[in-house]
Structure 1
Amino acid sequence: MRVAIAGAGAVGRAIARELIENGHDVLLIDRSASAVKPERVPEASWLLADSCELSTLEEAKLETCDVVIAATGDDKANLVTSLLAKTEFGVPRTVGRVNHPDNEWLFTEAWGVDVNVSTPRIMSALVEEAVTVGDLVRLFTFRQGDANLVEMTLPPDSPYVGRPSGLVPLPENCQLVTILRDGQVYPPSGEQPLEAGDELLFVVSEESEDELQDLLAPRVRKD
């Protein structure tokens, strides 16, 4: 897979290293000469240019990319890069970094962003996930398909404690992804009984979240 990353700062370089380690072809783009230091990620290709310029993206052959990641520290630049990648080059997947939470509402398909990554939202969700039991916590939003990755720590009084996961009548547009228990990851085999304290990860549409909450922990929403 060929991936272009706009922004060669600490975030962009970290993403590049991870993708290269997983066998992907990575191009790092940055307009600052001080940021373009190929020795920091020697396995990547580098381009000193402004990702908001159409000529830059043409030079980068963005039409050959499977994914473009807009990871600069400037939300405006991330939006423009995503929009150009999607509308001018038909890149199948764009990921936009949200630096300021007030700008998150802009990072949608209208601006060419398939997936937005908001650091403040993720950190807040991880805090909630660590301290809440019996409450649905949204961890991530998938722009395509209008679905969310959500987590719930199953409370002891859930009506489905002790019952096989396959017998839980999940709402429409909801899928149990995995069960986390005692530091282990368990696939939702269908016969795996649920236990109090299990961390359950679901992909679910936004309109089905309340139904899922009421199903697994009805007391929480009634209090």
Structure 2
Amino acid sequence: MRVAIAGAGAVGRSIATELIENGHKVLLIDKEPRAIAPDRVPGAEWLLADSCELSSLEEARLDICDVVIAATGDDKANLVTSLLAKTEFSVPRTVGRVNHPDNEWLFTEAWGVDVNVSTPRIMSALVEEAVSVGDVVRLFTFRQGDANLVEMTLPSTSPFLGKPCGLIPWPDNCKLVTILRDGMVYSPDREQPLEAGDELLFVAAPDAEPVLARLLNPH
């Protein structure tokens, strides 16, 4: 997979390093000369250019990229980069970094963003996930599929303790993905019983979330 990353700061370099370790080809783009440091991510290609300019993206050959990640520290630049990547180069997948939470509503398909990543939202979700028992916590949104990755830590008062997963009437548009228990990952097969303290991960449509919460924690 070929990935172009706009923004060669700490965030962009970290993403690039991990993608390269996973066997992908990565191009880092930045308009600041001081950000171009090939020795920091030696396995990446580097381009000194402004990702908001069409000519720069043509030079970057976005037409052969599978994914474009707009990871600069400027929300306006991330939106323009995503929009150009999607509309001018038909990049299959775009990911936009949200720096300011007030701008999150802009990072949609209308601006060419398939997936937005908001650091404040992720951090707050992780805090909720760590301390909440019996509440459905939204961890991630799959924008193209209109579904969310949600988590619930099963309370000791749930009516389904000890019940096999296959006997639980899960809501429509909701699927149990996995069960985390005592540091182990369990497959949610039909015979797997639920226990108090289980962390349950679901992919669910937004309207299924309150139904799921009432089902597992009616109290």
Asked whether 1:201 is paired with 2:204, we answer no
Matched residues, number = 219
Match of 1:143 in 2: 143
CA distance in 2, matches of 1:190, 1:50: 53
Q: State the superposition RMSD in angstroms.
A: 0.8
CA distance in 2, matches of 1:95, 1:166: 36
Structure 1 runs of 4+ with >3 Å offset:
none
CA distance in 1, matches of 2:7, 2:167: 47
Output aligned runs, 1:7-46, within 5 Å: 7-46=7-46
Matched-pair identity in %: 80
1:214, distance to aligned residue in structure 2 (A): 0.9
1:187, distance to aligned residue in structure 2 (A): 1.8
The letter of the residue matching 2:195 is: E
1:64, distance to aligned residue in structure 2 (A): 0.7
User: Could you give the per-residue CA deviations for residues 164-202 of structure 1, whole angstroms, max 9, x where no partner exists?
Assistant: 112221111111111111111112122211100000011
CA distance in 2, matches of 1:190, 1:76: 48
User: Could you give the per-residue CA deviations for residues 7-59 of structure 1, whole angstroms, max 9, x where no partner exists?
Assistant: 00000000001111111011100011101100100101010000011011111
Match of 2:75 in 1: 75
CA distance in 2, matches of 1:54, 1:81: 9
Match of 1:101 in 2: 101
The letter of the residue matching 1:104 is: E
**SS state at 1:139 partner:** strand
CA distance in 2, matches of 1:92, 1:43: 23
CA distance in 2, matches of 1:115, 1:167: 34
CA distance in 2, matches of 1:18, 1:190: 36
Pick which of 188-197 and 13-22 moved more: 188-197
Unaligned runs of 5+ in 1: none
Output aligned runs, 1:138-217, within 5 Å: 138-217=138-217
TM-score using structure 2 length? 0.98
Match of 1:63 in 2: 63
TM-score using structure 1 length? 0.96
The letter of the residue matching 1:186 is: Y
Pick which of 163-172 and 36-45 moved more: 163-172
The letter of the residue matching 1:130 is: A
Unaligned runs of 5+ in 2: none
